């Protein structure tokens, strides 16, 4: 930068300083619903958000704490700004809806430090009518000697930033005298990754939270904070500070800093969803996908959204074992039984856990014994893959790493090649160890331990994903890093865990309570698909019952979206519930359109989805521990068309605690002008297929 320009900036900064806070740039959403204003207050940058003229986010800090060169938040001057309007629609290869509209206004504002070292960054806001995202973009350093950015005067400006933290804040507005917003959240920086029960507390009682975190203000405004496109960066935790402010705290790296990046780079998008209702909040999650870059893999039609069964629930019930021995689950004979069951009932996949060496002994948090290219002697993988192929079924791979992530990277390419040869085109990965225990091998061979959501782990997942894509393999990550919409760019990252799934129903300690899924819909599910593994029609874990009714197990297939859904129970259990099992067999996993018809965070949710490329609609409704009667107008159906509603509902007297098997399957003709009355039992649910009748020829 020329000296003259720097002087101008300095003068501008002084002028702004004298006038106190000044709005230096602003942008509105396309429909004028949201407005973002950028302020400079004595050279300190902040942003705020208004909705329909009312404050939602009060002036909140932006900036960085950088190692070596200190905080980057003051003495800033605006050097340029530009806006842009985008209205485009793109097609998902698979998803909750086929077409996604990206309609936003963008503001790019460039800031320069008016004192040495004269660092620069852009802040880019994309503002939709139902939320926004912003990110920092740090340009390449100046090369000219004496220019700002040339910290040591040599002309070699710092080529990298070591970020000790982001200073990004979200100051939630609260009008004087009004009750505090309610927050639904799980703790971050604790041992169990993302697997906690959602807490509902006043905002002031939030500690350090993972995102998405969902808030509801006293007058019903719904907010969710998350991030999009988390790549080569640390996951953002949110720490509540001073009343109603949430401040970014990035997951640490083993080196002690949070992030290290060469310039130029940009951060993930920090996202805020803002809507009038819980239902609209779910819908607004499209902005997370919109903020991710388009598909880089090209044609991914080789990935087929599908349902799978597998040798899994028995392991969690402890009737079979991952380890070899008399109760080993992954035997050739047992797997053949599952393959035949899958083929007989139209399931594409058969997951087998415990198929490879490494499970004998202490594998939890120690995955050095895992071999991903060899099967145990009792598992004839070649013969089983051939049998599966003959029956039109695919084995689903399982790569539990026990968090020995570098050890896994050594083998993954060979393992994926073997998988591809055997027709195994989906692999479930796993990272079971306490949070902060991901094992990274350093160049000198020593092991460092990383967080599941630190920068190194973000890059690890990226390496796995790209290696898998080279072999046309889709990945389903358990104990993952959170979902930030990268499936748009790499559509082979199809689903993941990242919350308490059905397995907690097997273990207890404590089991998932009836409100769990109604919490998930409006928190975890805002971030993307989840491999929850529903469909436990036996409703029985190890020593305790699962806290849902039978009908609710069916509803979960519609309510909790995933392009891979497991029918998680044992074949012999399904044999006892064939009327209910029919719904699991028929329900699709890929959708043309999705509508959240009704819901309240943590209380209930009603979701309708239309089969992709089909005419039928499916509805799922779940409630918490309270029974409910909900009226659902069927406006989403095609007008003038007759449908047969195949209703799977809680029977009379059903209750998750003492009458969970009370279940009714019935059919009736409906049209779009009808209203369905859903009666949900305490802990219950309902699943409906609307089968379009063929019009008379
Ligand atoms: C935890 C996963 O969530 C579960 O599905 C799997 O069976 C075990 N880890 C073993 O890998
Ligand atoms: Ca898990």
The predicted-structure confidence for 299-330, as pLDDT tens digits, reads as follows 999 999 999 999 999 999 999 999 999 999 99
Up-side HSE of residue 444: CA atoms within 13 Å toward CB? 2
Contacts of 572 (CB under 8 A, 6+ apart): none
Which of 10-24, 45-59, 254-268, 602-616 has the least mean pLDDT? 10-24
For residue 365, is pLDDT > 80? yes
Pocket of ligand 1 (CB under 6 A): 312, 353, 400, 430, 432, 478, 497, 503
Average pLDDT over residues 542-551: 97
In the chain, the percentage of residues whose pLDDT exceeds 70 is 95
Buried b (16+ CB within 10 A) or exposed e, 147-173: bbbbbeeeeebbeebbbbbbbbbbbbb
Contact (Cβ atoms closer than 8 angstroms) between residue 320 and residue 353: no
Average pLDDT over residues 624-635: 98
Average pLDDT over residues 367-371: 96
CA torsion 615-488-584-657 (nearest 10°) is -120
Q: Measured from the CA of 479, which atom of ligand 1 is nearest?
A: 3
48 Cα: distance to centroid of ligand 2 (angstroms): 38
Contact (Cβ atoms closer than 8 angstroms) between residue 106 and residue 114: no
pLDDT given at position 697? 66
For residue 639, is pLDDT > 80? yes
Whole-angstrom distance, CA of residue 309 vs CA of residue 566: 6
Identified catalytic residue from 400, 450, 503, 662: 503
pLDDT given at position 147? 45
For residue 590, is pLDDT > 80? yes
pLDDT given at position 355? 98
Q: Tell me which residue has its CA closest to atom 3 in ligand 1.
A: 478
Average pLDDT over residues 439-446: 97
Read off the DSSP letter of residue 356: S
364 Cα: distance to centroid of ligand 1 (angstroms): 10
Q: Which of 542, 550, 556 is nearest to 506 (CA)?
A: 542
Whole-angstrom distance, CA of residue 348 vs CA of residue 442: 40
Token pair recorded at residue 283: 């819908």
Read off the DSSP letter of residue 457: H
In the chain, the percentage of residues whose pLDDT exceeds 90 is 92
500 Cα: distance to centroid of ligand 2 (angstroms): 7
* Number of residues assigned to the chain: 697
Q: Is 503 a catalytic residue?
A: yes
Contacts of 183 (CB under 8 A, 6+ apart): 199, 200, 201, 202, 203, 205, 206, 209, 213, 214, 215
Mutate to test the pocket of ligand 1, among 503, 505, 562 (most ligand atoms within 8 A of CB): 503
508 pLDDT band (50/70/90 cuts)? Answer: confident
């Amino acid at each position: 930068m020329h000296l003259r320009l720097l002087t101008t900036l300095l003068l501008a900064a002084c002028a702004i300083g004298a006038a106190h806070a000044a709005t230096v740039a602003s942008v509105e959403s396309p429909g004028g619903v949201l407005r973002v204003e950028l302020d400079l207050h004595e050279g300190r940058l902040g942003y705020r958000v208004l909705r329909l003229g009312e404050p939602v986010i009060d002036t909140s800090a932006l900036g960085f704490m950088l190692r070596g060169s200190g905080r980057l938040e003051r003495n800033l001057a605006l050097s340029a700004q530009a806006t842009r309007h985008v209205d485009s629609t793109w097609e998902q290869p698979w998803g909750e809806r086929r077409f996604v509209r990206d309609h936003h206004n963008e503001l790019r504002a460039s800031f320069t430090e008016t004192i040495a070292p004269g660092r620069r960054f852009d802040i880019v806001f994309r503002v939709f009518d139902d939320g926004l995202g912003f990110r920092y973009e740090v340009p390449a350093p100046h090369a000219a000697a004496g220019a700002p950015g040339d910290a040591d005067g040599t002309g070699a400006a710092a080529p990298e930033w070591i970020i000790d933290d982001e200073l990004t804040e979200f100051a939630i507005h609260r009008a004087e005298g009004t009750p505090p917003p309610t927050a639904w959240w799980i703790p971050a920086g604790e041992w169990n990754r993302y697997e906690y029960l959602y807490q509902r507390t006043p905002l002031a009682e939030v500690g350090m939270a993972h995102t998405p975190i969902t808030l509801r203000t006293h007058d019903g405004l719904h907010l969710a904070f998350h991030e999009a496109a988390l790549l080569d960066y640390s996951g953002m935790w949110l720490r509540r500070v001073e009343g109603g402010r949430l401040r970014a705290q990035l997951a640490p790296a083993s080196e002690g800093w949070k992030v290290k990046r060469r310039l130029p780079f940009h951060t993930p998008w920090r996202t805020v969803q803002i809507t009038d209702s819980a239902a609209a909040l779910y819908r607004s999650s499209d902005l997370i996908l919109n903020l991710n870059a388009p598909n880089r893999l090209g044609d991914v039609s080789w990935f087929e959204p599908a349902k799978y069964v597998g040798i899994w629930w028995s392991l969690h019930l402890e009737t079979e074992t991952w380890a070899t021995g008399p109760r080993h689950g992954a035997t050739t004979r047992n797997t053949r039984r599952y393959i035949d069951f899958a083929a007989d009932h139209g399931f594409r996949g058969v997951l087998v856990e415990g198929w490879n060496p490494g499970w004998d002994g202490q594998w939890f948090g120690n995955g050095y014994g895992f071999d991903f290219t060899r099967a145990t002697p009792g598992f004839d993988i070649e013969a089983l893959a051939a049998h599966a192929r003959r029956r039109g079924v695919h084995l689903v791979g399982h790569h539990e790493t026990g968090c020995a992530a570098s050890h896994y990277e050594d083998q993954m390419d060979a393992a994926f090649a073997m998988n591809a040869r055997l027709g195994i085109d989906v692999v479930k990965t796993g990272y079971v160890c306490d949070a902060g225990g991901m094992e990274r091998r350093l160049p000198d061979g020593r092991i460092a331990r990383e967080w599941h959501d630190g920068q190194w782990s973000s890059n690890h997942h990226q390496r796995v994903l790209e290696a898998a894509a080279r072999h046309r393999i889709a990945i389903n990550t358990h104990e993952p890093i959170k979902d930030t919409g990268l499936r748009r760019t790499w559509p082979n990252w199809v689903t993941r865990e990242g919350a308490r799934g059905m397995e907690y129903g097997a273990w207890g300690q404590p089991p998932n309570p009836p409100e769990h899924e109604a919490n998930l819909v409006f928190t975890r599910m805002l971030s993307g698909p989840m491999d929850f593994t529903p469909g436990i029609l036996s409703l029985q874990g190890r020593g305790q019952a699962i806290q849902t009714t039978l009908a609710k197990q069916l509803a979960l297939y519609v309510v909790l979206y995933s392009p891979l859904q497991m029918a998680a129970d044992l074949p012999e259990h399904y044999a006892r519930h064939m009327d209910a099992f029919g719904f699991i067999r028929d329900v699709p996993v890929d959708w043309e359109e999705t509508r959240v018809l009704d819901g309240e965070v943590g209380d209930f949710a009603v979701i309708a989805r239309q089969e992709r490329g089909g005419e039928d609609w499916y509805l799922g409704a779940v409630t918490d521990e309270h029974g409910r009667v909900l009226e659902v107008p069927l406006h989403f159906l095609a007008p003038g068309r007759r449908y047969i509603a195949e209703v799977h509902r809680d029977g009379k007297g059903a209750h998750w605690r003492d009458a969970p098997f009370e279940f009714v399957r019935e059919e009736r003709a409906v049209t779009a002008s009808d209203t369905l009355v859903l009666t949900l039992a305490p802990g219950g649910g309902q699943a409906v297929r609307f089968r379009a009748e063929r019009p008379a020829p």
